[in-house]
Amino acid sequence: MYAIIQSGGRQLKVTPGTTVEVDHFAAKAGEEVSVTNVLFVAKDGGDIVAGTPFVSGAKVVAVVEGESRGPKIRVFKKKRRKGMRRSRGHRSIYTLLRVKEIVV
């Protein structure tokens, strides 16, 4: 059984027992959260349920494992022949979720 969820503008394929990285949201480690933006569910028997856009009554129950940070992104801007150079960077913060179950 697997599901495709939408979180932070991205779509992720999740199965029970896996850990996924989603965009940061306010939740403490060990807290149980549910994601209701479920786009698609495939059951073990071969049945599939597709939403328009979301599957009604479906949710993914997960436990917050903690936070992590993505790779350093460098943003470098330059204007030729003007002497203007600027270098900035950032690291995105992600929330780690361990999927417990998929409820349809």
Q: Which residues of 71-89 are buried (b: 16+ CB within 10 A; e: fewer)?
A: eeeeeeeeeeeeeeeeeee
Q: What range defines the domain where residue 62 resides?
A: 2-103
Contact criterion met (CB below 8 Å) for 30 and 42: no
Number of domains in the chain: 1
Q: Structure pTM? A: 0.80
C-alpha 16/C-alpha 14 separation (Å) is 7
Percentage, residues of the chain above pLDDT 90: 88
Instruction: Read off the pLDDT of residues 26-73 as tens digits, 9 standing for 90 and up.
Output: 999 999 999 999 999 999 888 999 988 999 999 999 999 999 999 999
| Three-state secondary structure string covering 77-91 | EEECCCCEEEEEEEC
- Omega of the bond leading into 53 within 30 degrees of 0 (cis): yes
